[in-house]
Structure 1
Amino acid sequence: MSSTPVDLPATASGVGENTADLPATHPGHGHSMAWLAVGAIGVVFGDIGTSPLYAFREALGQAAAGGFEADEILGVLSLALWALILVVTIKYVLFLMRADNRGEGGVLALAALARRSAGFRSRTALILGAAGAALFYGDAIITPSLSVLSAMEGLRTIPGAATTFDEGTVRALTIAILVGLFFVQKRGTAHVARLFGPLCILWFVTIGGLGLWHIADEISIMRVFWPGYGVSYLVTHGTAGLFTLGAVFLTVTGAEALTADMGHFGRAPIRWGWFTLVFPALALNYLGQGAFALASLEAAQAGGRAFVNQDWFFLMAPPALRAPLVLLAGAATVIASQAVITGAFSLTQQAVQLGLLPRLRLRQTSAAFAGQIYLPAINWLLLAGVLLLVLQFRTSSDMAAAYGIAVTGTMVITTCLAYLVVRYSWHWSRLRALATILPFLALDLIFFGANILRVVEGGWVPLVIAALIGFLIYTWVRGRSIVRAFETRQSIPLADLVAALAKRPPERVPGTAVFLTGNPEATPGALLHNLKHNKVLHERNLVVSIRTADRPFVDPAERSQTKRLDDDFEVVVLRYGFMEAPDVPADLGLAGKGDRKGLDPMRTSYFIGRNTLKPEAKEGMPPWQDRLFMFLQRNASDPTEFLHIPPGKILELGEQVTV
């Protein structure tokens, strides 16, 4: 099984080539199904659960370029319901949730699973995973902006409040809420997260009840479950139908969270929450909006008035209840935003562990939940992007055009990775794999093509974000490969050095030296520099390599593997899952009493190679890209923090490397 480098400084990636097929440990299995389902409803479904705020309105707006007809309302509603059935229920809930990586889901977990089983195609899986991760950041910026702004726009539907809450005031409230949300991230969300489940249950019950109430306005609305209405609309509306289809896709944004959060809640609770509450509530609400719009159209036609597309979601509520509904919608959108922000933190942690991004400063915000982490750099970059979008697009309708491309792109990539998994991990025949995956891929490509048509309207935003993130990933991976190639050319086999030192031992000093290296078979550069410049060797020397497995967790009992070379040298390989944070002192037995290796923390020093990078126009990457890589390397977080090494116990040695 292949492994992927942990990103240490430019000269010490800390990773070997292969890792054994280890069992994985996983948190949270002791919780009851009911509590896990409540938690899943509060976290997993926040994004898709707030889509009714704007999805039907935007899709109907695209459908009525030449005026409204009843068939257009029915066609849009049929497309929305069948999008939920085909994309979310069949593709994600029933199929893709089976393709988990030791309980974990999401595009990088799926890519890691595909890499492990796809052999020579593992590079393709890594590229697809990196592209999916890049697109996710576009989603992470747009979701908070669009959802909170659409909720605050509901204030304008309160009778007499339209003049008080003009567009400027709505944007100011939106910005205030978003700034507050990002500022509390550093305090952690473990305490308030307990309210997410009950609040989201209240939200889904409320939106389902509103829809059920208005279905009585036009009971015949139930006929839209016949897919012919949607197909007929697409056939008769040409290009306008494709624009509408792109807007209809807003109903399923957030579906990726169903697989991405499997590791926190498990497959069964997510499925249970979807079928028993979330899907019925969403379907009822969309049916209610459609029935309300159809009844309004009939009333307008009977009165000789022009029919105007409106904010159907909030107008469904009685005037006296709209203010409480806006407050509940605001809470729901904050929860949806929190879920996306937390997802961005988790995805970044996985990307760092898989060697796609430089180390970033990470802080645990909860002692009880390993998934509660905070990355300051990602938090403030997301906030900057969110505020820029709110100020640039001004209204949720303008912003909606930017939403679908990131999500549809990620879905296309997920489907491609799913093919690699079913073909090479599940060992399906090519015919069976293609017969299963191609319909899903065709559906994704149709939605992706429909959203591409809206690039000019705002769809360029997630594409630009994804391109920038993707280029950073490429630069980092390419730069590290150049540095590793240099280290390989300069290295000598560790066994040869050990044999030479046994014949001509240098001056010895007391204590233990821990040399961190990417290749445990080669002599660490820091060890060579220590011998060359300090001309001493410690009494005991551990050559430690850190490997990231293509799985989320590694059993602690299998964390460490030791090989003794002679009385002076041992090679230790520490294995971690891509969702785990390395703790080298603890896993070497240096934390507290229980000293598995008999090491004294006060007499142990850590050596890491850190080379000085120098751009070279004739070698490696172009000079401007060299400088970008050097910038990323310089601004990577301190390895002592990433590896939990005491700051006063580490020494860095290196030389100049041309990139």
Structure 2
Amino acid sequence: MTARTSEGEVDLQAPVGTAPRHPREGGRLRLALIVGALGVVYGDIGTSPIYALQTIFNPGDPHPVPVNTANVFGIVSLIFWSVTIIVTVFYVGLAMRADNDGEGGIMALITLIRRHASGRGRRSALALAALGIFGAALFLGDSMITPAISVLSAVEGVKTVNSGLEPVIIPATAVIIVLLFAVQKRGTHVIGRWFGPIVAVWFTALALLGIGGIARNPEILRALSPVYAIEFVFGHFGIAFFALAAVILTFTGAEALYADMGHFGRKPISRAWLFIVFPSVMLNYMGQGALILEDTANISGSFFLLAPEALRIPLLLLTTVATVIAAQAVISGAFSVAAQASELGYLPRLRVAHTSEHWYGQIYVPWINWLLMASVLVLVFAFRTSEALAFAYGMAVIGTITIVSFLFLYVARTRWGAPMWLLATGGGLLLAIDLAFLAASSTKIVHGAWLPLLIGVAAFTVMITWQRGRDVVTAERERREGSLVEFVERLREGEPKVARVPGTAIFLDRGKHSAPLAMRSNLEQNHARHSQIVILSVETQPVPRVADADRLRVDQLGDDRDAVIHVTARFGYMETPDVPRALEGVDREQAEGRRLDLDRATYFLSTIQLKPGRARTMATWRKHLFIATSHITADAAEHFRLPRDRTMIIGSHIEV
């Protein structure tokens, strides 16, 4: 069994500088970003009112919550304060300030932890980074479940109009999902421009429906008091504990708004939440609570029953569109997580398309897009109802949130110097809430919560296996390549005997210390060398963009007669590494006073055929997994924007 991998995967170095992360926000741009954030970021958390209360009071639940006045007040109060603490206070108020030069999400936290890991705290930092990778894996699981449950829950609304339409639910859901993933290549800025106004109408409808329900029973506003939530939790703990697993559904999408921060920026996302999303969602939950207090039979379809009968078909159509949009938040977040994981060495190099000239965080990852689509369709046909997916949904969400909380508190202590008393009190309370939700969700493992855990473990295994295999291959390559300085010295002394031909050869290599395999093979097999040789290393920095002034470093190797230079090209992890364009900035004086003939230069890539070997580097099954994963590696020539007609690939074998 063999597989192929190519040049360009390098270890991270310290950041060398950054370009401005986002454009300046003028009034019109700020409004456009807020509307775009509504369409991309908040569809998920904004559609939770469709199914959350119905799931909490679901009589088919193994541990149902009895529908009575005290429990309705307690649940609505618990929803309000859970969303306030976890989303408003933690994510919007705190976590989104822990950004990596504008990029957010769990991978940004991992980067911050790795960057500042040193000395005695290095082991703890690496352990937390591994925990963070598992959190990122859970988020990828969430990205598969969210589109399935969101679209299913909306299309299921046809049953409230005509029960005879139930057979069309699954086919219609499948068609909608395929169309959703088909438009992803247009980019989040285009999708946000389409979806934003629709979601604005959606949140307006949520608020108006909620106000209408509240007007019928204003007493529900008493649920804003935390006393009702506390009394429900501690006075009916046996019921409340199991109810927490369903309450999680009210803040699904919280991690997505953090992961999507690079698409729109912190301020537009925060303002959209505080002034539009949060009030609208809470008004709707209050309205549904008032409707249930009026008649407990309204618990079945409480969201749709808020609307007058004449408006239910238009509401159904709007709901269907809104839930399609809801999937966009986690899809965009999955693109960001996968791209950052790839650049940090936890996944193979993936083809990433930047879809905006102004916002570097707006990307499209084709391989992830189609993987998600296939996974979502499998879930739809396997589970067939939104209720069957509900408990699976909660585990992925709260697992990721809990891990983000741990990582954030570590960053707050090590990077910001937050006092221990503050972390012990505020952080302790936050973790206690997260762990309570996590414990409640774990009781649903046999009822579907096993699914995100299985997806998370699988994704985590792939990522740590790739990281380990990459280290093994790098070590073996360095052994074979030998010292670059010694190789250039031998070249200067005439060993091996080679003919000197005109032109420029550019060899891509991983660093400055080893000789590229392609250069060794070319000289030993063809017995010829170009008059100008450029050894190019591409470094991915743990920052979104590298300033032009810090892009290149040029070093002369050997004497002038050898005309061998080493160029280090640095790119941020959100940039497309355009090698030919970067080389235009090389200082011509350092190339023997002659211009590099980039228009006719030949590029050389070293390609490796991987095979499982006998060395005990990894378990045999992990070796095969590593080799299989390498097949999705993006084409190196395309990744580095090399001219196809002037790129040569020279291969060799390495056992892992």
Q: Which runs of 5+ in 1 are unaligned?
A: 1-7, 298-306
Contact 1:60 1:73 in 2 (8 A): no
1:556–1:132 distance in 2 versus 1, CA, 3 Å:
farther
- 1:433-478 alpha-carbon deviations (Å, 9 max, x no partner): 4444222222211111111111111111111111111111122111
- 1:464-504 alpha-carbon deviations (Å, 9 max, x no partner): 11111111112211111111111222232222222222222
Contact 1:352 1:358 in 2 (8 A): yes
Alignment correspondent of 1:18: 13
Q: Following the alignment from structure 1 to structure 2, what is the Cα–Cα distance between the partners of residues 66 and 269?
A: 38
Alignment correspondent of 2:71: 72
Alignment correspondent of 1:385: 375
1:623–1:289 distance in 2 versus 1, CA, 3 Å:
same
SS of equivalent to 2:67: coil
Q: Following the alignment from structure 1 to structure 2, what is the Cα–Cα distance between the partners of residues 127 and 36?
A: 34
1:67–1:635 distance in 2 versus 1, CA, 3 Å:
closer
Contact 2:188 2:363 in 1 (8 A): no
- 1:380-434 alpha-carbon deviations (Å, 9 max, x no partner): 2212211111112221111111101111111112112112211222133444444
- 1:44-73 alpha-carbon deviations (Å, 9 max, x no partner): 211110111111111122598374221111
Q: Following the alignment from structure 1 to structure 2, what is the Cα–Cα distance between the partners of residues 31 and 185?
A: 27
- 1:533-557 alpha-carbon deviations (Å, 9 max, x no partner): 2222211111111112122222233
| Counterparts of residues 222-261 of structure 1 (less than 5 Å) | 222-261=221-260
Alignment correspondent of 1:152: 155
Match of 1:570 among 565, 570, 587: 565
| Counterparts of residues 201-212 of structure 1 (less than 5 Å) | 201-212=200-211
Q: Following the alignment from structure 2 to structure 1, what is the Cα–Cα distance between the partners of residues 397 and 215?
A: 34
Contact 2:545 2:574 in 1 (8 A): yes
SS of equivalent to 1:554: coil
Amino acid in the other structure paired with 2:10: V
Alignment correspondent of 1:582: 577
SS of equivalent to 1:52: helix
Q: Following the alignment from structure 1 to structure 2, what is the Cα–Cα distance between the partners of residues 281 and 178?
A: 26
Shift in Å, 1:643: 1.2
Contact 2:38 2:192 in 1 (8 A): no
Match of 1:423 among 413, 426, 430: 413
Match of 1:414 among 404, 423, 436: 404
Alignment correspondent of 1:162: 163
Alignment correspondent of 1:608: 605
Q: Following the alignment from structure 2 to structure 1, what is the Cα–Cα distance between the partners of residues 500 and 573?
A: 38
Contact 1:16 1:520 in 2 (8 A): no
Of stretches 44-53 and 232-241 in structure 1, the one that deviates more from structure 2 is: 232-241
Alignment correspondent of 2:264: 265
Contact 1:549 1:575 in 2 (8 A): yes
Shift in Å, 1:123: 2.4
Q: Following the alignment from structure 1 to structure 2, what is the Cα–Cα distance between the partners of residues 504 and 619?
A: 40
Alignment correspondent of 1:528: 520
Contact 1:513 1:542 in 2 (8 A): yes
Amino acid in the other structure paired with 2:332: T
The answer to whether the aligner puts 1:335 opposite 2:325 as a matched pair is: yes
| Counterparts of residues 569-648 of structure 1 (less than 5 Å) | 569-589=564-584, 598-648=595-645
The answer to whether the aligner puts 1:560 opposite 2:580 as a matched pair is: no
Match of 2:390 among 400, 404, 411: 400
Contact 2:103 2:361 in 1 (8 A): no
Contact 2:259 2:337 in 1 (8 A): no
Contact 1:171 1:394 in 2 (8 A): yes
Q: Following the alignment from structure 2 to structure 1, what is the Cα–Cα distance between the partners of residues 310 and 651?
A: 70
SS of equivalent to 1:601: coil
Alignment correspondent of 1:508: 500
Shift in Å, 1:14: 4.0
Amino acid in the other structure paired with 2:224: F
Q: Which runs of 5+ in 2 are unaligned?
A: none
Instruction: Give the TM-score, by structure 1 length.
Output: 0.91
Instruction: Give the TM-score, by structure 2 length.
Output: 0.92
| Counterparts of residues 79-478 of structure 1 (less than 5 Å) | 79-119=78-118, 120=122, 121-158=124-161, 161-163=162-164, 165-166=165-166, 168-188=167-187, 190-297=189-296, 307=297, 309-365=299-355, 370-478=360-468
1:113–1:66 distance in 2 versus 1, CA, 3 Å:
closer
Amino acid in the other structure paired with 1:631: A
Amino acid in the other structure paired with 1:80: I
- 1:583-632 alpha-carbon deviations (Å, 9 max, x no partner): 111111199xxx99933234211222222222123432233322222222
Alignment correspondent of 1:301: none
Contact 1:135 1:466 in 2 (8 A): yes
Q: Following the alignment from structure 2 to structure 1, what is the Cα–Cα distance between the partners of residues 95 and 409?
A: 10
Shift in Å, 1:260: 1.7
Contact 2:53 2:299 in 1 (8 A): no
1:648–1:575 distance in 2 versus 1, CA, 3 Å:
same
SS of equivalent to 2:539: strand
- 1:139-178 alpha-carbon deviations (Å, 9 max, x no partner): 11111111111111222223xx222x22x22222111211
Contact 1:515 1:542 in 2 (8 A): yes
Amino acid in the other structure paired with 1:423: R
Q: Following the alignment from structure 1 to structure 2, what is the Cα–Cα distance between the partners of residues 556 and 434?
A: 43
Shift in Å, 1:235: 2.4
Contact 2:335 2:364 in 1 (8 A): yes
Shift in Å, 1:248: 0.5
Amino acid in the other structure paired with 1:227: P
Q: Following the alignment from structure 1 to structure 2, what is the Cα–Cα distance between the partners of residues 308 and 47?
A: 24
SS of equivalent to 1:105: coil
Q: Following the alignment from structure 1 to structure 2, what is the Cα–Cα distance between the partners of residues 373 and 14?
A: 20
Q: Following the alignment from structure 1 to structure 2, what is the Cα–Cα distance between the partners of residues 429 and 189?
A: 39
Q: Following the alignment from structure 1 to structure 2, what is the Cα–Cα distance between the partners of residues 471 and 49?
A: 32
CA RMSD of aligned residues (A): 2.5
Equivalences, count? 637
Q: Following the alignment from structure 1 to structure 2, what is the Cα–Cα distance between the partners of residues 37 and 282?
A: 17
Contact 1:60 1:76 in 2 (8 A): no
Amino acid in the other structure paired with 2:520: L
Shift in Å, 1:283: 0.9
Shift in Å, 1:92: 0.8
Q: Following the alignment from structure 2 to structure 1, what is the Cα–Cα distance between the partners of residues 565 and 470?
A: 26
Contact 2:262 2:362 in 1 (8 A): no
Alignment correspondent of 2:55: 58
Contact 2:39 2:191 in 1 (8 A): no
Q: Following the alignment from structure 2 to structure 1, what is the Cα–Cα distance between the partners of residues 442 and 640?
A: 43
SS of equivalent to 1:656: strand
- 1:265-301 alpha-carbon deviations (Å, 9 max, x no partner): 222222221111111111100000000001113xxxx
Q: Following the alignment from structure 2 to structure 1, what is the Cα–Cα distance between the partners of residues 44 and 65?
A: 31
Q: Following the alignment from structure 1 to structure 2, what is the Cα–Cα distance between the partners of residues 378 and 18?
A: 27
Amino acid in the other structure paired with 2:372: L
Of stretches 465-474 and 426-435 in structure 1, the one that deviates more from structure 2 is: 426-435
Identity score, percent:
41
1:191–1:431 distance in 2 versus 1, CA, 3 Å:
closer
Alignment correspondent of 2:535: 543
Q: Following the alignment from structure 2 to structure 1, what is the Cα–Cα distance between the partners of residues 186 and 140?
A: 22
1:543–1:239 distance in 2 versus 1, CA, 3 Å:
farther
Q: Following the alignment from structure 1 to structure 2, what is the Cα–Cα distance between the partners of residues 408 and 590?
A: 47
1:66–1:495 distance in 2 versus 1, CA, 3 Å:
closer
Contact 1:214 1:316 in 2 (8 A): yes
1:140–1:76 distance in 2 versus 1, CA, 3 Å:
same
Shift in Å, 1:19: 3.2
SS of equivalent to 1:401: helix
Q: Following the alignment from structure 2 to structure 1, what is the Cα–Cα distance between the partners of residues 410 and 526?
A: 51
1:28–1:59 distance in 2 versus 1, CA, 3 Å:
farther
Amino acid in the other structure paired with 2:265: G
